[in-house]
């Protein structure tokens, strides 16, 4: 037998529900407390890491800015430029000796007072210069070095930073971070290259003061090369987490979190404006939250002790509460077997006492309720039949009301046309128009029928077009193409004439030159049954695309959103009321070219009342 909690005794259900609630509250509270504590620790670290990384940022920006200003000041110094220009244009022995002394002094001044600068080197087309403080490597070839190769790209910037590397220029076992500046001096067209190298150890000591706060501090250049750090996280992972818009590591509720080999690291970063370096401070999330693990274990122990004590209490309470229910269950079993003489007596006025009174009352009234229920069912059936009749009468009234609204509208337009003809054309045309009008009204009446053959509807439209043809004889042609096979189809009365009228007044009337109206009909297979498709096409002014969309949406919803074109919405609503919402009217049009009104209704050939 499949287990279900409701199959258990009520006493066992109380114990089980209490167990679940206790576990939910206890474990949930412990988890929530741990989560809040972890969030607080991470938030505190986030705030502190922002300050720490900000101090590193300010320090590096200041020191690198000073170095950049010193290099710029030296290279644009007029005395420096004059000495270099004279030497490069006249590389005599005297100028060479003079230039070596002067340039070495400039470079010594550049290196002096800034511990971050390891060395400097100046390359010209004639010879190279240094401060004579370091021993130069004799095999160093500038044109064969990466310092020269990077400038083979014409679009490269004049200042280029390189990643941490061994000293290629001087005999020094320490690592350096080179920076190359390409420049010119006035009076000489060739390029000069000034190389200064930062000391890796000095840079590491500069940020070492914050290493006790972070597990690792990494510096990565614009090319993805690692300048400084123990490579706790790969440079690719850090750059992927970098947000260029905000200039920080992407946030995730506090510090940015990056993953490396299954380890989570909280990262804070900044970008240096001097050279595009990105500085990252990293802290292991597991190490940061290690102190909370003991707290989590203590909370679990307390929860287990409380659970054991509470279970003993709830078992006693459940037994006391369910004894009376067990007795009531036995009495109800007797009633289920047909013994309505049973009664349940309970001396207290709690919920069980109320339940016992209800049980006794139920036994006394059950037969009476059955009789009342049978009478209610009979009354509901009568009411249902009455509502259906009212709905049918309402539907017929709506159809008749919509039908009645068309004739006055057209009568006004026709009488207006007759008045115009009497004034401007003469009595012969008026006679012809009046004859067509009489035929039109005769067909409109249709002996009171709302459903007529398609042949009568086509004759009705032909009479209308005859009337309008007299008025617009220089502007209106029409063509009716309806196969004999569909002329016996039964359709709602007056569904084509409003569409033709709309085509004349909103299409042909606005067109320059002669207009054409084509009326076609065809039978096709529909989704549920055969469908009759009636089309009124004109080559008039057309409908703008935005307005066409509004018209079709309004027709689909059965409302007139545009406040105009009453006739077409009338036709569409009559069709939807009579045939159903899946049938109705749609429009196709191209502004300045054509408009097509398409009516879709089910095929019905037998006479309908």
The residue range of the domain holding 568 is 405-602
What is the rounded average pLDDT of the residues 51-69?
A: 90
- Cβ atoms of 292 and 285 within 8 Å: the answer is no
* CB burial of residue 336 (10 Å; 0-12, 13-18, 19+): exposed
Yes or no: say if 558 and 576 are a contact pair by the CB < 8 Å rule: yes
**Owner of token pair 């606005």:** 510
d(CA 492, CA 602): 11
CATH number reported for the structural domain that contains residue 522 in this entry: 3.30.565.10
DSSP 550-606: HHHHHHHHT--SSS--HHHHHHHHHHHHHH-TT-EEEEEEETTTEEEEEEEEE---S
d(CA 232, CA 237) in angstroms, rounded, equals: 11
Residues 6+ apart with CB under 8 A from 375: none
CB count in 10 Å sphere of residue 261: 7
Give φ, ψ of 587 to 5 degrees: -120, 145
In the chain, the number of structural domains is 2
Distance CA 221, CA 389 (A): 84
273 domain residue, yes or no: no
- In this model, does residue 166 exceed pLDDT 90? yes
Given 160, 188, 203, the domain boundary residue is 203
Q: What is the pLDDT of residue 238?
A: 84
Residue 406 to residue 494: CA distance in whole angstroms: 8
The answer to whether position 510 is within a domain reads yes
Q: What is the pLDDT of residues 81-104, one digit of tens each?
A: 999 999 998 888 888 888 999 999
Q: Is the pLDDT of residue 415 over 70?
A: no
β-partners of residue 256 are 267
Residue where one domain finishes, among candidates 174, 203, 232:
203
Q: Which of 203, 231, 251 is the last residue of a domain?
A: 203
User: What's the whole-model pTM score?
Assistant: 0.47
Whether 70 is covered by a domain: the verdict is no
d(CA 426, CA 44): 98
Answer yes or no: is 347 within a domain. no
Please check whether residue 301 lies inside any domain of the structure.
no
Query: What gap in Å lies between CA 465 and CA 460, rounded to an integer?
Result: 9
**Res. 180: pLDDT tops 50:** yes
460 vs 454: CA distance, rounded Å: 10
Q: Quick: pLDDT tens for 539-584.
A: 988 999 999 999 999 888 877 766 666 788 888 998 988 888 889 9
CATH of residue 115's domain is: 3.30.450.20
Sheet of 278-284, strand order: 226-228, 216-220, 278-284, 263-271, 256-260
Per the domain annotation, does 17 fall within a domain? no
- Inside any domain, residue 528: yes
With respect to residue 138, please indicate whether it lies within any of the assigned structural domains.
yes
Beta-strand pair 159-161/175-183 = antiparallel
Per-residue pLDDT tens for 446-496? Answer: 555 788 899 989 998 998 888 888 777 778 889 999 999 999 999 998 899
Span 326-343, average pLDDT: 75
Residue 585, SS3?
strand
Q: What is the pLDDT of residues 113-146, one digit of tens each?
A: 888 999 999 999 889 999 888 899 988 999 999 9
What is the β-pairing status of strands 515-525 and 476-481? parallel
Backbone torsion region of residue 592, taken as left when φ is above 0, otherwise alpha when ψ lies between -120 and 50, otherwise beta? left
Residue 580: DSSP 8-state: -
């Amino acid at each position: 037998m499949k287990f279900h909690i409701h199959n258990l005794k009520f006493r066992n259900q109380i114990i089980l529900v209490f167990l679940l609630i206790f576990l939910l509250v206890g474990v949930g509270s412990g988890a929530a407390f741990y989560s809040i504590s972890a969030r607080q620790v991470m938030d505190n670290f986030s705030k502190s890491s922002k300050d720490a990384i900000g101090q590193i940022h300010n320090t590096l920006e200041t020191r690198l800015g000073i170095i950049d200003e010193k290099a710029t000041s030296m290279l644009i110094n007029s005395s420096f430029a004059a000495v270099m220009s004279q030497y490069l244009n006249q590389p005599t022995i005297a100028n060479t000796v003079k230039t070596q002394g002067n340039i070495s002094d400039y470079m010594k001044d550049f290196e002096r007072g800034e511990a971050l600068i390891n060395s400097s080197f100046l390359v010209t087309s004639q010879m190279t210069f240094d401060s004579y403080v370091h021993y130069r490597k004799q095999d160093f070839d500038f044109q064969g070095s990466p310092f020269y190769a990077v400038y083979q790209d014409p679009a490269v910037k004049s200042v280029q930073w390189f990643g941490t590397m061994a000293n290629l220029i001087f005999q020094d076992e320490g690592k350096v971070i080179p920076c190359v500046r390409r420049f010119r001096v006035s009076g000489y067209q060739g390029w000069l290259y000034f190389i200064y190298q930062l000391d890796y150890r000095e840079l590491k000591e500069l940020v070492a003061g914050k290493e006790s706060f972070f597990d690792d501090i990494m510096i990565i250049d614009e090319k993805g090369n690692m300048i400084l750090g123990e490579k706790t996280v790969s440079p690719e992972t850090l750059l992927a987490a970098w947000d260029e818009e905000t200039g920080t590591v992407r946030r995730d509720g506090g510090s940015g979190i990056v993953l490396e080999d299954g380890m989570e690291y909280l990262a804070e970063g900044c970008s240096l404006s001097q050279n595009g370096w990105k500085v990252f401070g990293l802290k292991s999330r597991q190490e940061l939250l290690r102190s909370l693990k003991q707290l989590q274990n203590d909370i679990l122990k307390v929860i287990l002790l409380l659970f054991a004590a509470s279970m003993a209490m709830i078992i006693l309470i459940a037994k006391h509460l369910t004894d009376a229910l067990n007795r009531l269950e036995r009495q109800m079993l007797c009633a289920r077997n047909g013994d309505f003489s049973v009664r349940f007596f309970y001396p207290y006025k709690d919920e069980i006492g109320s339940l016992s009174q209800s049980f006794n009352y139920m036994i006394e009234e059950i037969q009476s309720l059955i009789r009342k229920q049978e009478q209610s069912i009979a009354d509901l059936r009568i009411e249902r039949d009455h509502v259906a009749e009212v709905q049918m009468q309402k539907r017929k009234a709506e159809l008749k009301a919509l039908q009645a609204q068309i004739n006055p509208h057209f009568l006004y337009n026709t009488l207006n046309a007759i008045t115009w003809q009497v004034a401007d054309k003469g009595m012969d045309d008026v006679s012809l128009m009046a004859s067509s009008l009489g035929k039109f009204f005769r067909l409109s009446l249709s002996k009171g029928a709302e459903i007529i053959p398609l042949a009568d509807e086509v004759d009705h439209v032909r009479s209308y077009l005859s009337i309008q043809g007299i008025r617009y004889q220089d502007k209106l042609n029409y063509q009716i193409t309806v196969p004999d096979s569909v002329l016996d189809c039964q359709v709602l009365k007056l569904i084509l004439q409003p569409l033709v009228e709309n085509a004349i007044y909103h299409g042909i009337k606005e067109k320059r030159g002669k207009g054409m109206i084509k009326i076609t009909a065809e039978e096709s297979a529909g989704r549920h049954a055969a469908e009759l498709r009636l089309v009124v096409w004109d080559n008039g002014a057309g409908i703008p695309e935005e307005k066409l969309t509004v018209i079709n949406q309004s027709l689909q919803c059965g409302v007139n959103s545009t406040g105009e074109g009453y006739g077409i919405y009338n036709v569409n609503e009559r069709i939807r009321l009579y045939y159903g919402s899946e049938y109705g009217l749609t429009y196709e049009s191209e502004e300045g070219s054509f408009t097509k009104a398409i009516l879709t209704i089910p095929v019905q050939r037998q006479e309908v009342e």
